[in-house]
């Protein structure tokens, strides 16, 4: 490996952080049932402990995304506990995620619900989340909306657009100057006829309408089959409207599989668009990267470490693309040479440089092996197995 490539890789990794989701350490499943793991996190302290361990091994995960209803059920009263856990485990609270999809009141939607009282309840909850984020000094508030309908004619789609616009403007008005509102989209599920925020264009328009601190959040699983996600990323970069990512992989739709397990080339292409934007414009794209996966069968901790290491590898590969050569080849429409310039970076083995980067930062060269040798999994399994056994009994 040339010294120049190693410098590019090290510089990229120094500036690459990926946020861990608290819920990624807890027991999850499908709509048919939960699959219990005896080592899964049960409490918010368990989640901070697990996230701290992943960060200590990878050096890339300094923040934990929190879901208010699951992690701060008492709202602002839980802020002090979160601050204590952050100090104890060496990871800080990250994006704050409202929950306007779980309660029975949201059967017909939240801020898009025909009932103004339910719309107010959802809006008040999101504003409470803004206040929690301010108290924890968290920048991003990231709501996901399950709102939609299942049958033609059962809802006024246009009325619901107006209710969304009104609510998100109100949320934006409650942000502090340094906060951001990230609007996520999803084409279907749980609504199967129409989803109120179904694609990047709808999220883009809602964000633009809400105000200058609102941006689009791209979940890599929330797209139709074969959709060109990096083109969407390029459009959002061009308009300065991309706020962040929820990273996962999929075989069908929103499968929440571990990053790169199905199509690592796609994640590489997304990272390439972001690196190329920085090269072309000289501007840093302020993008929040976060994992959003459901580790139903893989061990929670191992799956998270595997994901972070994969993200580092793909981000490093995208960092060594020869942008100047690629731009020249694109201009001359040299198709094969241009594509091969991209592909060569993808196939390049960046792992030796990443191992050297880890050594230089006092990190284990092989985070997965270091985790397996640490005894952490055996310890948390022993500590949590009885609590998770209760979960099995309760669920059954």
| Domain CATH code at residue 162 | 3.20.20.150
* Contacts of 172 by beta carbon, 8 Å cutoff, 6+ apart: 181, 210, 211, 213, 214
CA dihedral 294, 300, 302, 307 (to 10 degrees): 30
pTM, entire model: 0.96
How many structural domains comprise the chain? 1
Q: Which letter does DSSP use for residue 67 in this model?
A: E
C-beta separation of 56 from 304 below 8 A: no
- The 3 state secondary structure assigned to 139-208 is CEECCCCCCEECCCCCCCHHHHHHHHHHHHHHHHHCCCCCCEEEEECCCCCCCCCEECCCCHHHHHHHHH
pLDDT digit string (tens) for the chain, length 396 residues: 688 999 999 999 999 999 999 999 999 887 788 889 999 999 999 999 999 999 999 999 999 999 999 999 999 999 999 999 999 999 999 999 999 999 999 999 999 999 999 999 999 999 999 999 999 999 999 999 999 999 999 999 999 999 999 999 999 999 999 999 999 999 999 999 999 999 999 999 999 999 999 999 999 999 999 999 999 999 999 999 999 999 999 999 888 999 999 999 999 999 999 999 999 999 989 999 999 998 999 999 999 999 999 999 999 999 999 999 999 999 999 999 999 999 999 999 999 999 999 999 999 999 999 999 999 999 999 999 999 987 654 433
Pairing of β 63-67 and β 20-21? parallel
Instruction: Give the integer Cα–Cα distance in Å for 196 and 110.
Output: 11
Which residue, 227, 275, 218, is CA-closest to 245? Answer: 218
Q: Which letter does DSSP use for residue 43 in this model?
A: S
C-beta separation of 244 from 285 below 8 A: no
- Give the residue carrying structure tokens 């929690």: 132
Sign of the alpha-carbon dihedral angle for 366, 368, 372, 378: positive
Instruction: Give the integer Cα–Cα distance in Å for 313 and 295.
Output: 21
Domain span at 225: 3-395
Instruction: Give the integer Cα–Cα distance in Å for 37 and 56.
Output: 23
């Amino acid at each position: 490996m040339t010294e120049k490539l190693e410098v590019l890789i090290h510089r990229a990794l120094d500036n690459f952080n990926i946020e861990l989701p608290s819920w990624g350490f807890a027991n999850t499943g499908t709509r048919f049932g939960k699959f219990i793991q005896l080592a899964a996190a049960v409490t918010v302290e368990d989640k901070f402990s697990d996230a701290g361990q992943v960060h200590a091994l990878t050096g890339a995960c300094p923040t934990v995304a929190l879901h208010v209803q699951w992690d701060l059920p008492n709202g602002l009263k839980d802020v002090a506990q979160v601050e204590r856990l952050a100090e104890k485990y060496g990871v800080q609270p990250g994006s704050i995620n409202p929950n306007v999809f779980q309660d029975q009141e949201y059967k017909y939607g939240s801020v898009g619900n025909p009932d103004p009282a339910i719309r107010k309840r959802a809006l008040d909850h999101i504003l409470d989340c803004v206040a929690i984020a301010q108290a924890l000094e968290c920048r991003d508030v990231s709501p996901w909306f399950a709102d939609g309908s299942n049958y033609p004619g059962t809802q006024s789609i246009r009325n619901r657009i107006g209710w969304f616009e009104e609510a998100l403007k109100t949320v934006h008005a409650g942000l502090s100057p340094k906060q951001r509102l990230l609007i996520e989209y999803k084409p279907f599920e749980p609504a199967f006829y129409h989803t109120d925020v179904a694609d990047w264009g709808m999220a883009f328009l809602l964000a633009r309408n809400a105000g200058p601190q609102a941006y689009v959040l791209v979940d890599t699983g929330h797209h139709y089959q074969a959709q060109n996600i990096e083109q969407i990323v390029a459009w959002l970069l061009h308009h300065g409207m991309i706020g962040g990512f929820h990273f996962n992989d999929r075989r069908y739709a929103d499968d929440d599989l571990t990053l790169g397990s199905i199509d690592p080339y796609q994640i590489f292409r997304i990272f390439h668009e972001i690196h190329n934007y920085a090269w072309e414009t000289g501007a840093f794209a302020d993008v929040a990267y976060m994992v959003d996966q459901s580790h139903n069968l893989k061990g929670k901790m191992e799956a998270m470490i595997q994901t972070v290491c994969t993200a580092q590898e793909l981000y490093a590969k995208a960092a060594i693309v020869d942008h100047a050569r690629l731009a020249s080849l694109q201009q001359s429409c040299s198709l094969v040479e241009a594509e091969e310039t991209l592909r060569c970076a993808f196939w390049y083995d960046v792992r030796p440089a990443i191992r050297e980067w880890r050594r230089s930062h006092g990190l284990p060269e092989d985070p997965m092996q270091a985790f397996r040798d640490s005894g952490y999994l055996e310890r948390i399994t022993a500590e949590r197995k009885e609590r998770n056994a209760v979960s099995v009994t309760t669920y059954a």
